[in-house]
A and B are shown apart, each in its own frame.
Chain A
């Protein structure tokens, strides 16, 4: 889940504005010729420039919250497993990285065993051991190193209250390293997705001797194809160079064409788009991993082939939706929820988020990718513009013949996925169905607190959910698993649904280690839950991002939706 601060949002907002500025002039048809340069095989060498808006803060494997080991982090930190670096759906699979395979489950997927490949070395030439991986996982529990993904605390046996290796050097008994190349994980429940979790950077090795705690991010010890030359301003400017100790032989996934990679963050999004589209000098060898096109570019690419040819389109598993809390009247009444589902006008919502090029209207909670188990369905068919009439009908049945007034909680961050633009679009749509919406805009933090705290959870609010790995599990689990209702912390089960049937089905699927079969079951479950109208899926964001003229070998997997810096070449 991305949580951008107000001002970075603001940057975005203006950014896009400026991007428009750039767009008109950036490049005319003259660039058509250069477009050819993009063809032809990629070669080693050169410097790749990454122009980003968001800095790579806390560049520490224990603190990073990535999916599939992240994009930039994946250049430094190899993990037990990693995502496949291929285009589209092919890029939605898990592959062995440091490990010889994606893991051997036993005791119906409660125990997972990995073996390291031979000859794996850190940048300093010392050997990578499983103890180092265990150590980093333990680090990720340390309060000094906050920020990482939470799953292991729930999954590993007896990890619930573990304080990390600094306060508690005994370490985690749930992880065994019988020898330097073997590591065994003991889970307190079956988790077929474990190989996918093992892609996260907490599964990267950190040599205890080199650990400097909170300062480790400044000089991390690389296990990947590149090593950190400098890390300025906490990830604002990263310079990476080839790690001589890394061998392509041991790494089936990463191509690592460029000799050096220069990651400049904190750039205005407009500047990024303008520089990429103009592609002057070094910018021809530049890409961005976090900045979408603005309307101006969108308007242009239709008429500008060469520019269009430099837009990478990706689909990250993410759904923005309207969440209900049935504990609050009138949302306890399914008819009311259905009425709203019918009344929603997804066109206005999509427009509010940048138009149809950057968003696909959503009717399913699961993202539109097979890996998640996407099964198309629309329990409340109302077309993209909604069906107010049908909604009115349902309201009458629900006992509100004269309409009703509800309150909708949203984030006040402008341009945000849960921001005011979307909220007003919904407000306007429901008006046609006779539903008066009171907007309850909360400042970002207040909003987070309010909607994710059971006690204060409002009846209806905007929410978004992203995949930590492409599978139905992390998508449906936190939202609909009754046992994941957190009463004294951040709760994401907005409906506070605790349906034994759903719970047991989730358990059943988690036991399945064949991801394909699992996916199908997840899809079915999604459809089943969808009928209860506990959420109204609104849209799935689409990533459209520019890359420089001389960029070759652009790979965009469905896993990240962003072009993979480990694969691109500048020569």
Chain B
């Protein structure tokens, strides 16, 4: 594509530079992507379920802790009597082998933990990562070097191992979900820091930052007014990618038996218990697996959607600013999503190294 044809488009599409990523634009661009929308809906539902967990449990008339030994065949390893893991009018999704606790109740309450931990961790990662990235990007050679090395260290950390070690250090009194969020957050913020740093460096070289210096603004003022706004998009996008990977990490930790404390339920905890039972009681493994899968999938497609909507990388990759719109216009959403997805894996792999 050449400047002409493109600016010909620009005539219609209106202007060369990136439009401000205002909430309205984002929404407008999200709306056109069916998958992303679906993902969004699922997410909303999940959040609602999590929030209204007690309600749901009450409707079923069960709680997460009561044992139902009577429903278990003790001699056969305490698996539930009856089919589908003891599904019945009282226990809609059956009961947990070994204890006889109600699965439906534990699933809906589990959503609370899993989402809570993941969201907490993500927020933390974003905060720490952005802080480091920003400081490194704005700082002088030395500061940048130092901070980048620190970041490297954290990217290099075998996340899961450190989680295990840290979890061992912290007194058991500490509320576990919070701890999990903290540990995940404190360990794997490296990738987001790197992304922010690169963004800042890219922005720094742009003329409007120079202009702001000429305007007599202090570095901080410049950062606040010129840089931060432009960071929102990539950070949001990446956060949307981090979140599902955090859900998985929580599950992974629980899977290794160092997740939330009993009798709290989380999907990861259920999965790890289920992995003990799934042959004798396959319903038990499929439930949390399906939910976890659905959640991660929802967040992933939603993240793709946001990525397209905010399209943080396209501009920087294309030589002519005008090409950005052409790409979004001419290339179907999916493709545009992937052009941004290039940023994802190298980052994502940092989170996955532990949980792989």
Residues of A within 8 A of B (CB): 6-7, 9-10, 13-14, 16-24, 294-296, 298-299, 302, 345, 347-348, 350-352, 354-358, 385, 412-415, 420-421, 423-425, 427-429, 431, 439-443, 445-446
Contact B279 A414 (CB under 8 A): no
Contact residues in B for A357 (Cβ distance below 8 Å):
74-77
Task: Answer yes or no: B278 CB below 8 A from chain A CBs.
Answer: yes
- B65, closest chain A residue (CB): A428
Contact A348 B69 (CB under 8 A): yes
Q: A347-B74, A355-B77, A424-B263 are in contact. Are A17 and B276 (CB under 8 A)?
A: yes
Contact B276 A415 (CB under 8 A): yes
Contact A351 B69 (CB under 8 A): yes
Contact residues in A for B272 (Cβ distance below 8 Å):
13, 414
Q: A9-B257, A420-B261, A441-B172 are in contact. Are A355 and B279 (CB under 8 A)?
A: no
**CB-contacts of B76-97 with A (<8 A):** 76-79, 97
Task: Answer yes or no: B262 CB below 8 A from chain A CBs.
Answer: yes
Q: A14-B276, A17-B279 are in contact. Are A355 and B75 (CB under 8 A)?
A: yes
Contact A439 B277 (CB under 8 A): no
- A347, closest chain B residue (CB): B69
Contact residues in B for A351 (Cβ distance below 8 Å):
69, 72, 74, 78, 98-100
Q: A385-B69, A424-B262, A441-B261 are in contact. Are A6 and B256 (CB under 8 A)?
A: yes
Contact A412 B258 (CB under 8 A): yes
Contact A345 B69 (CB under 8 A): yes
C-alpha spacing A107/B76, complex, angstroms: 53
Q: What distance in Å separates the Cβ of A427 from its nearest Cβ neighbour in chain B?
A: 7
7 contacts between A and B (CB under 8 A): A295-B79, A351-B99, A355-B77, A385-B69, A414-B273, A424-B65, A424-B262
Contact B172 A440 (CB under 8 A): yes
Contact residues in A for B75 (Cβ distance below 8 Å):
298, 302, 355-357
Find the residue from B65, B98, B168, B258 having the highest chain A CB count within 10 A: B98
Task: Answer yes or no: B56 CB below 8 A from chain A CBs.
Answer: no
Q: What distance in Å separates the Cβ of A559 from its nearest Cβ neighbour in chain B?
A: 26
C-alpha spacing A62/B100, complex, angstroms: 46
Contact B279 A24 (CB under 8 A): yes
Q: What distance in Å separates the Cβ of B126 from its nearest Cβ neighbour in chain A?
A: 29
Contact residues in B for A358 (Cβ distance below 8 Å):
77
Contact B67 A423 (CB under 8 A): no
Contact residues in A for B99 (Cβ distance below 8 Å):
348, 351-352, 421, 424-425
Contact residues in B for A14 (Cβ distance below 8 Å):
275-276
C-alpha spacing A449/B168, complex, angstroms: 13
Q: A299-B77, A356-B74 are in contact. Are A17 and B261 (CB under 8 A)?
A: no
Find the residue from A9, A347, A431 having the highest chain B CB count within 10 A: A347
Task: Answer yes or no: B280 CB below 8 A from chain A CBs.
Answer: yes
C-alpha spacing A420/B172, complex, angstroms: 13
C-alpha spacing A299/B277, complex, angstroms: 12
1/0 per residue B94-134: CB within 8 Å of A?
Answer: 00011110000000000000000000000000000000000
Contact residues in B for A441 (Cβ distance below 8 Å):
172, 261-262
Contact B262 A423 (CB under 8 A): yes
**CB-contacts of B55-76 with A (<8 A):** 65-67, 69, 72-76
- A270, closest chain B residue (CB): B279
C-alpha spacing A425/B279, complex, angstroms: 23
Contact B76 A443 (CB under 8 A): no
**CB-contacts of B150-164 with A (<8 A):** none
Count of residues in B whose CB is under 8 Å from the partner chain? 35
Contact residues in A for B77 (Cβ distance below 8 Å):
294-296, 298-299, 354-355, 357-358
Contact A16 B276 (CB under 8 A): yes
Question: Nearest 3 CB-CB pairs, A to B?
Answer: A20-B279, A295-B77, A414-B257
Task: Answer yes or no: B167 CB below 8 A from chain A CBs.
Answer: yes
Q: What distance in Å separates the Cβ of B330 from its nearest Cβ neighbour in chain A?
A: 49
Contact residues in A for B258 (Cβ distance below 8 Å):
6, 412, 443
Could you list 16 further interchain pairs (A-B, Cβ under 8 angstroms) beyond the known A16-B276, A421-B98?
A: A17-B276, A21-B279, A22-B279, A295-B78, A299-B73, A347-B69, A351-B72, A412-B258, A415-B276, A420-B261, A424-B65, A424-B262, A428-B65, A431-B65, A441-B261, A443-B258
C-alpha spacing A446/B167, complex, angstroms: 11
C-alpha spacing A440/B174, complex, angstroms: 10
Q: What distance in Å separates the Cβ of B356 from its nearest Cβ neighbour in chain A?
A: 16
Q: What distance in Å separates the Cβ of A66 from its nearest Cβ neighbour in chain B?
A: 28
Find the residue from B97, B258, B280 having the highest chain A CB count within 10 A: B280
Contact B280 A299 (CB under 8 A): yes
Q: A425-B67, A428-B66 are in contact. Are A355 and B278 (CB under 8 A)?
A: no
1/0 per residue B165-181: CB within 8 Å of A?
Answer: 00110001100000000
Q: What distance in Å separates the Cβ of B305 from its nearest Cβ neighbour in chain A?
A: 36
Q: A350-B74, A351-B69, A424-B262 are in contact. Are A295 and B257 (CB under 8 A)?
A: no
C-alpha spacing A21/B274, complex, angstroms: 13
Contact residues in B for A350 (Cβ distance below 8 Å):
74, 78
C-alpha spacing A18/B282, complex, angstroms: 12
C-alpha spacing A153/B309, complex, angstroms: 73
Contact residues in B for A354 (Cβ distance below 8 Å):
77-78, 98
Q: What distance in Å separates the Cβ of B24 from its nearest Cβ neighbour in chain A?
A: 49
C-alpha spacing A441/B273, complex, angstroms: 17
C-alpha spacing A350/B100, complex, angstroms: 13
Contact B98 A446 (CB under 8 A): no
C-alpha spacing A163/B277, complex, angstroms: 48
- B97, closest chain A residue (CB): A295
Contact residues in A for B279 (Cβ distance below 8 Å):
17-24, 296
C-alpha spacing A347/B72, complex, angstroms: 10
Contact B67 A446 (CB under 8 A): no
- B285, closest chain A residue (CB): A17
Contact residues in B for A296 (Cβ distance below 8 Å):
77, 279-280
C-alpha spacing A294/B77, complex, angstroms: 7
**CB-contacts of B168-209 with A (<8 A):** 168, 172-173
Contact residues in A for B98 (Cβ distance below 8 Å):
351-352, 354, 421
Checking A21, A302, A421 against B76 with a beta-carbon cut-off of 8 angstroms, the contacting residue is A302
1/0 per residue B250-293: CB within 8 Å of A?
Answer: 00000011100111000000001111111110000000000000
Q: A13-B275, A294-B77, A295-B97 are in contact. Are A428 and B67 (CB under 8 A)?
A: yes
Contact residues in B for A428 (Cβ distance below 8 Å):
65-67, 263
- B275, closest chain A residue (CB): A17
Q: What distance in Å separates the Cβ of B121 from its nearest Cβ neighbour in chain A?
A: 20
Contact B262 A299 (CB under 8 A): no
C-alpha spacing A442/B65, complex, angstroms: 21
Contact B168 A446 (CB under 8 A): yes
